[in-house]
Structure 1
Amino acid sequence: MVTFGLASLGAAALAACSPVKLLNATIPSGGYRKTPDIAYGSDPRQALDVYVPTAAVARSETRPVVVFFYGGSWQNGDRGNYLFVAQALTSRGYVAVMPDYRTYPETAFPGFVDDAAAAVRWTRDHAHEFGGDPARLFVMGHSAGAHLAALIATDPRYLASQSMSKADLRGVIGLAGPYDFLPIKDRTLLDVFPASTRAESQPINFVTGHEPPMFLAAGTDDLVVDPGNTDRLAAVLRRHGDRVEVKHYDGVGHIRIVSALAATLRGHSTVLADVSEFIDSFAL
């Protein structure tokens, strides 16, 4: 179950001026270099920012690359609100790619998933320009963004349209994602996900046993996206022999699981440490 009326409110709460500005105001100003406003498509929403750690590495060394998709009920969001995520990833030595993507009503399913795949293709093609290793490419998302990450890692058509495959992904990180959310009761989301393609919107329907490793996390107090989405996808992945790690964070809600990545909140949760451990274990 996904309580999508609350999902929209949750995204709005994170993006509201005061909370997100407070989070981003606490971010250390050093330690990363930002290259903003790079187009990966022709639409104004098809743009991304790249964040690169400034810590010195050996001349021959390259870094894992993480493409992060934010949430927003597939209807809103702005990559500029997620500086705290980019800083968290660069603090662990990863190149962070932060795309925007088209949202409803500009597009409906599968338009935003097409954008996610295009952003990943751009990242693979250009990772080396930022000291990243295209062979160590991870996708990560929160809420609707986790849905995008999971769907391009399960339904092979999206990456195939970009001359890529699941094998090009080293791993997937999903925070509070909706992966098995039919039936839809929210009236707007009935338009976001047209009936003719609705079954194709569910990552759980495409698991074959050839998925990249996944780290799926949810908070036990999430009232926006039912943590059962995480458990059901994990069960199907395991049934097919895929590698999956599941983490439930006690007392953590829908927004807190991503805001825990912010520098001032990391001491209250192991989210960043757990994500980093997963990435490091599959980035070798």
Structure 2
Amino acid sequence: MNKAYIFLFAISIFLLPSCGVFTVNKSKDIPYMAQGQLDNLPEKSLNIFFPKNKKECPVVVFAYGGSWESGKKELYSFLGKRLAKKGIVAVIIDYPLSPAYKVPDMALSVAQSVKWTVNNIANYHGNPDRIFVSGHSAGGHLTALNTLKDDYFDQLCVENPIKGAILIDAAGIDMYTYLKEKKLASGESYLKAFTNDPAVWKDTSPIYYLDNQDPQCLIMMGGKTYPGIKSSTERFLDKSEEIGYEPIYHLQPSKKHVPMITQFIWSGNKTYDWIEEFVKAK
């Protein structure tokens, strides 16, 4: 994420008011994982946005994108505020990043943030029995992985509590095929996150854990997104049809990758209607 993009992002957020029904409260920088709590993983925290006058709300835990190597939760306060205005508790998380940490570390951290949310979200007007996850790009990959693969929750000695996933132009859905085809040189940024081991690529590709009993995914993809995202999403949809799994899929034909998340700056964006319908139906 370059400096010009961050500046534009910040100005857009500052200029655009948040519209909705509910007054929003915010609690920030709440640790969900202590230093060394999970082996070598660092302390990480989250921000919570919740309706002031409504309780038992559905909850969305959001992980940002940034190629598994960049990002911070503060950039996504606009999303938290707008979801809370619509009666959804939003939990915006930080997680460990490459090159210091690998994708399995990130996935375990996301699972820990969800576990923390289940145990504590009633204090912030959320319903612990209605936990959803969401992410853009790399964050979409990590949340899809936790939705379809129980191993990370098994490591935490809890059952997978996720009721559904909201994937926003998710990267890495089939990273195994992508990296095999690309034949990247050792040390390239993706390999710093996914390692040089094809077994790890496959183990951390959500598509290989899909079955027809999994929680439903709401998938949004830009028609002008990156070819790797397009091809892996299409393979995911093909496999879904083969096994009788039924995701909800929205193609946004004119959207590129970054605008798939910046569109959420506008509170009247139709994507919020899709999310509301998805989380309130379960």
Residue 195 of structure 1: aligned partner: 196
Residue 276 of structure 1: aligned partner: 276
Structure 2 gaps, min length 5: 36-41
- Give, in whole Å, the separation in 2 of the partners of 1:14 and 1:236: 38
Q: Would the aligned equivalents of 1:177 and 1:229 in 2 still touch at CA under 8 Å?
A: no
Q: Which moved more, 1:134-143 or 1:189-198?
A: 189-198
CA shift, 1:15, in A, is 5.3
Residue 39 of structure 2: aligned partner: none
* Corresponding letter in the other structure for 1:194: T
- Give, in whole Å, the separation in 2 of the partners of 1:149 and 1:137: 12
CA shift, 1:155, in A, is 1.5
Change (3 A) 1:101 1:224: farther
Structure 1 gaps, min length 5: 1-10
Residue 26 of structure 2: aligned partner: 34
* Corresponding letter in the other structure for 1:36: K
- Give, in whole Å, the separation in 2 of the partners of 1:118 and 1:190: 24
Aligned runs of 1:129-278 on 2, under 5 Å?
Answer: 129-166=123-160, 168-178=161-171, 179-181=173-175, 182-184=177-179, 185=182, 186=184, 187-196=188-197, 197-223=200-226, 225-263=228-266, 266=268, 269-278=269-278
Q: Would the aligned equivalents of 1:70 and 1:142 in 2 still touch at CA under 8 Å?
A: yes
CA deviations over 1:22-50 (Å, ceiling 9, x no partner): 22442439831110111111246511011
- Give, in whole Å, the separation in 1 of the partners of 2:228 and 2:2: 15
SS of corresponding position for 1:112: helix
Residue 102 of structure 1: aligned partner: 96
- TM-score (normalised: structure 1): 0.86
Change (3 A) 1:210 1:72: same
- Give, in whole Å, the separation in 1 of the partners of 2:271 and 2:265: 10
SS of corresponding position for 2:281: helix
Change (3 A) 1:72 1:156: same
* Corresponding letter in the other structure for 1:183: Y
- Give, in whole Å, the separation in 1 of the partners of 2:259 and 2:148: 27
The alignment yields a C-alpha RMSD, in angstroms, of 2.1
- Is residue 19 of structure 1 aligned with residue 30 of structure 2? no
Q: Would the aligned equivalents of 2:18 and 2:82 in 1 still touch at CA under 8 Å?
A: no
Change (3 A) 1:85 1:276: same
- Give, in whole Å, the separation in 2 of the partners of 1:188 and 1:215: 28
1:116 to 110, 119, 124: 110
* Corresponding letter in the other structure for 1:77: G
Change (3 A) 1:13 1:279: farther
Change (3 A) 1:68 1:225: farther
CA shift, 1:74, in A, is 0.3
SS of corresponding position for 2:257: coil
CA shift, 1:208, in A, is 2.6
Residue 6 of structure 1: aligned partner: none
- Is residue 64 of structure 1 aligned with residue 58 of structure 2? yes
Residue 47 of structure 1: aligned partner: 45
CA shift, 1:224, in A, is 6.6
CA deviations over 1:112-167 (Å, ceiling 9, x no partner): 1111000000001101111111100000110000001100011210122223334x
Q: Which moved more, 1:229-238 or 1:25-34?
A: 25-34
- Give, in whole Å, the separation in 2 of the partners of 1:129 and 1:183: 42
Change (3 A) 1:107 1:15: farther
Change (3 A) 1:161 1:96: same
CA deviations over 1:64-103 (Å, ceiling 9, x no partner): 0110110000001010000111122112101100110000
Q: Give identity over the alignment, percent.
A: 24
SS of corresponding position for 2:102: coil
